[in-house]
Chains A and B, each alone.
Chain A
């Protein structure tokens, strides 16, 4: 677990190649590569170039606005932020145990989110690389190319995503940025008509999800060399698992394992996450680098998301996904699978699990109940954690006696994977770029490694250079709206 290739010793004489923006991912990121005149790679970095400062401007807002506001961090997984915030704020209203209807409605919404996000990521964004090849014709390497060559696959992807979005609409009122969860419960349950509408399609969805797992599984079996080695590195991994050790994407306790699969910690109540995890800032990225305090910054970084979850749990409660989990474990053998492309396979297993969970919940009459809200003793601090499509998502708030937020700390899924993604692109640079003339197809290999993690750079955060720099913002008429300048010491000042 080295940080080699993070920083070149003599960056001055090197040639800079940039991938900007990284495409077919959500949000903004870029990769810079420094090479010498023999094309030897000296430095590779994935930079997160946006800064939004959400944690600051949420302060001073009334807490009940928060579940609706935080969704705007991310339009791909708004439900995850919506639910993580609601779970944290359940502690503020003292409703740690929700009513059965509320908990099941939230779960239904969450599984709808997992299904739509995993389908989007696999079919719309990543499948072109896997179906056509990493250095295939750039103009066809997208969902439109897939629709031309494999129309059934493209159509299923679109319909799988659509179904997930419809589950969200029925539980949250709107496909994107709905309002279903509130601190202490939910604001609606399903009507019989809504349930029947979803029941109509769910069997087809489960079966397509299973086909999707098989599609990826076959790719691994057909080309194990590539799939096992591409960008592979060993790392610790973490997720929440249910109280019984089974996969639970909505609620549970934190469990972490080392690179050999041995437990590092287990059964940790996530209210105490800050005893476990700390974050480091690096000069060249707006995204922070979390690590396990007990192991330190060098050894303590870890991986989250589907590849971690499928290997971290003891079993999956739904039958079809459990069969697939066992196949996956048998394929990887005694050691956990570390290869980034394994993410796709694990992701499809989770999509199948989500589809099966939706089916189960649609057969449970509690989702049509009318006991929506729980109450309890008012608190002033709460942590909410959920397994979002991309991994463990942590929301932490403090609220004062006037109901205003005084502190907000967010560790989003993609942030946990920051070091891991950097590690993967460095490996790929060593495996494929070293000593070669850089081509578009080779650079796409780097992006393939990043895509495997399904990073959501929307959720992540922006920066400033050392040289004095000034930016002017002009309006359409060429009039100056504002200027920003940065001095030699990196401090910035703005004038309007």
Chain B
């Protein structure tokens, strides 16, 4: 008879990232089938749960580029016992932070007004659209982060290692082979 195991709850979200870190998560390939025996997914782009409930592990991809990102991050920190920043964007802003040396109104002007092939451009201006932040911020500047997995993206193996360490109650350790920054 199967003894029901108590599964750990895991939530994941993409903020100002490219989804590549989530894709790398899926690069654990068949191990995903092993993982789902041990964990239950809460809010994640893989499920239809729209808000994060109480969780053991929260994984954040991407930095903060707008007000909505900040709300989602705060919701995660409030609900997740352990919060992990995954990838260059969450850790230091990553490529989207290339806009940080430019003024936001200038970029908006460029993209929605002066851009090639645009007819009668203007800057979208509707309350449904979250306010962009002046700069792209790494997540640890706004909430406390427990672990950082570097890489753009970190490999599926690196993500697997951290998760299995945490599931086994060990302090996560990447080691030389899995630690990379590209």
Contact = CB atoms under 8 A, between A and B. Distances in A.
Contacts of A120: 23, 26
Interface residues of B, number: 78
A47 B115 contact: no
Interface string A90-125: 000000000000000000000000000000100011
A27 B119 CA distance: 26
Interface stretch (A53-61, A208-216, A256-264, A364-372): A53-61
Given A30-B128, A144-B36, A407-B116, A482 B135 contact: yes
Given A74-B19, A285-B124, A473-B137, A461 B111 contact: yes
Contacts of B112: 281, 288
Given A284-B126, A464-B123, A464-B124, A482 B143 contact: no
Nearest to A120: B26
B81 interface: no
Interface in A402-426: 407, 409, 411
Contact of A464 (B16, B24, B131): B131
Interface in B61-88: 64-68, 70
Contacts of B65: 50-52, 462
B168 to A, nearest CB: 21
Contacts of B102: 53, 56-57
Interface in A1-39: 19-21, 23-28, 30, 32
Contacts of A52: 16, 65, 96, 99
Given A57-B107, A462-B129, A76 B19 contact: yes
Nearest to A493: B105
B110 A75 contact: no
Contact of A21 (B33, B50, B108): B50
Nearest to B72: A21
Contact of A473 (B64, B98, B105): B64
B94 interface: yes
Given A45-B128, A177-B153, A142 B133 contact: no
A469 B18 CA distance: 28
B46 A49 contact: no
Contacts of B20: 71-72, 74-76, 78, 176-177
Contact of A138 (B18, B48, B143): B48
Contact of B47 (A23, A27, A74): A23
A88 to B, nearest CB: 13
Contact of A274 (B18, B96, B116, B140): B116
A25 B68 contact: no
B174 interface: no
B36 A496 contact: no
B123 A75 contact: no
Interface of B: 14, 16-24, 26-27, 29-30, 32-33, 36, 40-41, 45-50, 64-68, 70, 94-96, 98-99, 102-108, 110-112, 115-135, 137, 140-144, 152-153, 155-156, 182
15 contacts: A21-B50, A23-B48, A24-B46, A53-B99, A55-B110, A55-B115, A120-B26, A138-B49, A162-B29, A279-B115, A288-B112, A297-B119, A456-B19, A465-B128, A484-B131
Q: Which 10 A-B pairs have the closest CB atoms?
A: A75-B20, A463-B129, A494-B134, A465-B127, A53-B107, A284-B126, A72-B95, A409-B116, A490-B125, A75-B18
Given A124-B26, A496-B134, 8 more contacts: A25-B45, A176-B23, A281-B121, A283-B124, A409-B116, A458-B19, A463-B130, A475-B142
Interface of A: 19-21, 23-28, 30, 32, 45, 47, 49-53, 55-57, 69, 71-76, 78, 120, 124-125, 138, 141-144, 147, 151, 154-155, 158-159, 161-162, 165, 174-177, 274, 277-286, 288, 297, 396, 407, 409, 411, 444, 447, 456, 458, 461-467, 469, 471, 473-476, 481-482, 484, 486, 490-496
